[in-house]
Amino acid sequence: MSSKSQPHERKPHKRGAHPASADAPAARPPRVTAANSRPRVSTQPVKTNGANPARQAKAPGKAAPARSARRGGSVRKAPAPAPVTVRRPATGRKPVAPHQPVAARKPVGAPAAARKPAVARKPAARPVQSPRRKPRAGQSHPKRHLTLPRPIAAANAAVNGYLPLAATYLAMALVFVALVSYVRANPPAYDITLNGAEQRVFHGATIQSLLDDGLVSPTPGNLLAVDGSVIKQGGGDPFSATVDGKQTTDATTHLGVDAQVQLGDGADVTEDYDETNAEIPFDTSNQQATRDSYFLGAFHIYSKGANGVQTTRVGKVSGISVTLTTKNPISAGYGVYDADVADEKVIALTFDDGPWETTPELLDLLKENGAHATFFTVGRMVANYPDTVKREYDEGHQVCTHTWDHAAGSGQGVNLTYMTAEEQVEEVEKGFEAVDSAVGTEVTRIFRAPGGNYYGSAVSNLDGTVVAEVGWDVDTEDWRKPGADQIAKAIENAKPGQVILMHDGGGDRTQTIEALRKALPELRKQGYRFVTIDELMQTGNGLRSISG
């Protein structure tokens, strides 16, 4: 039988080997994984060119037998399967071919070199966050993208949604608070105290508005000539006013909430004038420094003498000429003087034996009343309260000495005249040094002798150490503690230019403080000012000699 008539005989062969190349190395079987263990089902139609895909899938590891030719029974190679057409999804993903048996994907008749072993598809790996590594020098940690849990993310979204609304409400609240604060600071109407009585006024009230409303009708002062005669009635100040303790003649002065206002008749005004000055030579005093002469005046000076000043004034309106002494001469030698303040309403408040633990309260009271005072301090007490002494000086008060330890020792705690000349000088100098150290500068060399014992040889012994010794015109005797009312009465009876003696140390001084709390406002109503000793000596015509 010819070769053509012999039936085709298939020989068994190893899986993956082609019968035409028995010597070819065996192909590695495909790796079975979870990704390819199940057949993939595709909804896309598969074109097979007439081949039955069911038959092709029967023997996945063997090639399908070739059909015999109708004529001659010759064997033909199996035709290569037609390419599979797969539609690409609109999402842009890589299309996935429908699952086919191995024989359909790799025909038996294909050369061994054309076949490739099946490669298992690796499952998609879940992103794993790399462990945090320590960055190298000059590097920073990589940014980590964290995803918030759903409840937190929802809350965060809600908060972000309410933030603009909350910001709006907050802005409205701030505007409201600012408006309330402004209205409180600038109320449309408020109360003031006018001449001791409460008065309702509107915002922006001034002294002029009080006059326009007829709340007060002051009488204007007169215009005076240089000799004091009246040139024109009502030509002086239209009113006199004190607002919160400060005198003013400005009608536009603003009156704030709870302002304390004293509004009264206007003061007389002297006409403008031309003046010329001439010196008044000093003379020599024959006054003796005795205990009795001490109380003739408040100022006791041992001086080399100083000239005075005589002034001639010619009025520009009236043409009247007058000559007067504008500064009194100081006689050479010892002399007793008082303050010639002319028509100035001034008083000197003085305090001895301090500082004390209650002195700060006294300073507060003086500040409230716009009063300046003079403190004659004890040196050893200054060392105990240096801050208080510094405050006295910083607030405009005058700080002097009352000796180092109130003439203790041979002075028996009260009398310098019992001490030797050296002890007297040392007692006073140490007192000044303590004050200078506390205030940080050298103060005026004015002192007050303990008990007013400044007479005899003590006067000449302290020449060059002190400029003046200051006594008093009014003794309140507060050291006896007679009661606040009694002390206040003594203060209120003072006259212009007088020196008032009180104490802020040496014991409990609450009575003195309470007395001042009553007396100072009353004196202010009368137009008095409270000045230091230095200021008093320069007020008006200065010091005026008193002969004994």
The domain that contains 524 carries what CATH number? Answer: 3.20.20.370
Dist. CA 504–CA 515, nearest whole Å: 12
| pLDDT range class, residue 1, cuts 50, 70, 90 | very low
Tell whether the torsion through CA atoms of 450, 455, 458 and 463 is positive or negative: positive
Q: Which of 383, 328, 351, 311 is nearest to 515 (CA)?
A: 351
- Across-strand partners of 190? 201
Dist. CA 11–CA 14, nearest whole Å: 10
The verdict on whether 402 is a catalytic residue reads no
Q: What is the pLDDT of residues 401-457, one digit of tens each?
A: 999 999 999 999 999 999 999 999 999 999 999 999 999 999 999 999 999 999 999
| pLDDT range class, residue 522, cuts 50, 70, 90 | very high
Q: Considering 338, 478, 503, 504, which one is annotated as catalytic?
A: 503
User: What mean pLDDT do residues 158-182 have?
Assistant: 78
The answer on 342 and 328 residing in a single domain is: no
1 assigned to some structural domain:
no
Out of 316, 335, 354, a domain closes at: 335
Tell whether the torsion through CA atoms of 429, 431, 433 and 435 is positive or negative: negative
- Say if residues 348 and 374 touch (Cβ distance below 8 Å): yes
Dist. CA 378–CA 367, nearest whole Å: 23
- Across-strand partners of 501? 350, 475
169: left (phi over 0), alpha (psi -120 to 50) or beta: alpha
Q: What is the pLDDT of residue 131?
A: 55
Out of 224, 240, 270, a domain closes at: 270
- Angle at CA of residue 314, ends 312 and 319, nearest 5°: 150
Dist. CA 314–CA 275, nearest whole Å: 6
Q: What is the pLDDT of residue 507?
A: 92
- Across-strand partners of 536? none
Q: What is the pLDDT of residue 140?
A: 56
For residue 354, the Cα-to-chain-centroid distance in whole angstroms is 34
Cis status, amide bond into 355, omega within 30 of 0 = yes
The answer on 450 and 316 residing in a single domain is: no
Max CA distance (Å), the chain: 185
Q: What is the pLDDT of residue 203?
A: 86
Element (H, E) at 248: strand 246-248
Q: Which residues contact 260 (CB under 8 A, 6 or more apart)?
A: 192, 193, 242, 243, 244, 245
Q: What is the pLDDT of residue 119?
A: 56
Q: What is the pLDDT of residue 78?
A: 56
The answer on 499 and 460 residing in a single domain is: yes
Pairing of strands 308-315, 269-270: unpaired
User: What mean pLDDT do residues 469-475 have?
Assistant: 97
The answer on 261 and 395 residing in a single domain is: no
Helices 510-525, 484-492: axis angle to 10 degrees equals 30
- Across-strand partners of 278? 310
131 assigned to some structural domain:
no
Out of 335, 365, 384, a domain closes at: 335
The verdict on whether 352 is a catalytic residue reads yes
Q: Considering 352, 473, 478, 504, which one is annotated as catalytic?
A: 352
The answer on 523 and 447 residing in a single domain is: yes
Pairing of strands 246-248, 230-232: unpaired
The domain that holds 285 is classified in CATH as 2.20.230
Q: What is the pLDDT of residue 204?
A: 87
- Tokens describing residue 4: 């053509």
18 assigned to some structural domain:
no
Residue 292, SS3 per DSSP: helix
Q: What is the pLDDT of residue 178?
A: 81
Q: What is the pLDDT of residue 57?
A: 45
102 assigned to some structural domain:
no
Could you list the beta-strand ranges (E) of 80-140.
none
Q: Which of 474, 389, 381 is nearest to 430 (CA)?
A: 381
The answer on 455 and 378 residing in a single domain is: yes
Q: Count up the domains in the chain and report the number.
A: 3
- Tokens describing residue 454: 């400044």
Query: Could you tell me the residue range of the domain that residue 282 belongs to?
Result: 273-335
285 assigned to some structural domain:
yes
Q: What is the pLDDT of residue 121?
A: 62
| pLDDT range class, residue 236, cuts 50, 70, 90 | very high
Asked whether residue 348 carries a pLDDT value surpassing 50, the answer given is yes
User: What mean pLDDT do residues 308-331 have?
Assistant: 95
Q: Which residues contact 118 (CB under 8 A, 6 or more apart)?
A: 30, 31, 36, 102
Asked whether residue 533 carries a pLDDT value surpassing 50, the answer given is yes
Dist. CA 468–CA 454, nearest whole Å: 11
Q: What is the pLDDT of residues 359-392, one digit of tens each?
A: 999 999 999 999 999 999 999 999 999 999 999 9
| pLDDT range class, residue 16, cuts 50, 70, 90 | very low
| pLDDT range class, residue 111, cuts 50, 70, 90 | low
Half-sphere exposure of 98 (CA within 13 A, CB side): 16
User: What mean pLDDT do residues 144-162 have?
Assistant: 66
Dist. CA 524–CA 58, nearest whole Å: 128
The answer on 497 and 380 residing in a single domain is: yes
Dist. CA 196–CA 174, nearest whole Å: 39
Q: Whats the size of the chain, residue-wise?
A: 548
498 assigned to some structural domain:
yes
The answer on 439 and 355 residing in a single domain is: yes
Dist. CA 437–CA 382, nearest whole Å: 9
Dist. CA 459–CA 453, nearest whole Å: 10
The answer on 364 and 430 residing in a single domain is: yes
The domain that holds 213 is classified in CATH as 3.10.20
The answer on 474 and 327 residing in a single domain is: no
39 assigned to some structural domain:
no
**In this structure, what is the dihedral angle of CA atoms 430, 435, 440, 445, given to the nearest 10 degrees?**
-80
| pLDDT range class, residue 482, cuts 50, 70, 90 | very high
Q: What is the pLDDT of residue 446?
A: 97
Q: Tokens 């024109």 correspond to what residue?
A: 232
Asked whether residue 351 carries a pLDDT value surpassing 70, the answer given is yes
Q: Which residues contact 344 (CB under 8 A, 6 or more apart)?
A: 496, 497, 529, 539, 540
Q: Which residues contact 477 (CB under 8 A, 6 or more apart)?
A: 487, 490
The answer on 412 and 399 residing in a single domain is: yes
326 assigned to some structural domain:
yes
Q: Which residues contact 212 (CB under 8 A, 6 or more apart)?
A: none
Q: Which residues contact 393 (CB under 8 A, 6 or more apart)?
A: 399, 438, 439, 443
| pLDDT range class, residue 547, cuts 50, 70, 90 | confident
Q: Tokens 């240089």 correspond to what residue?
A: 226
Asked whether residue 325 carries a pLDDT value surpassing 50, the answer given is yes
Dist. CA 236–CA 233, nearest whole Å: 8
Q: What is the pLDDT of residue 124?
A: 57
Q: Which residue type does 369 have?
A: N
- Say if residues 332 and 304 touch (Cβ distance below 8 Å): yes
For 95-109, 219-233, 267-281, 344-358, which range has the lowest pLDDT when averaged over its residues?
95-109
The answer on 356 and 239 residing in a single domain is: no
Asked whether residue 322 carries a pLDDT value surpassing 50, the answer given is yes
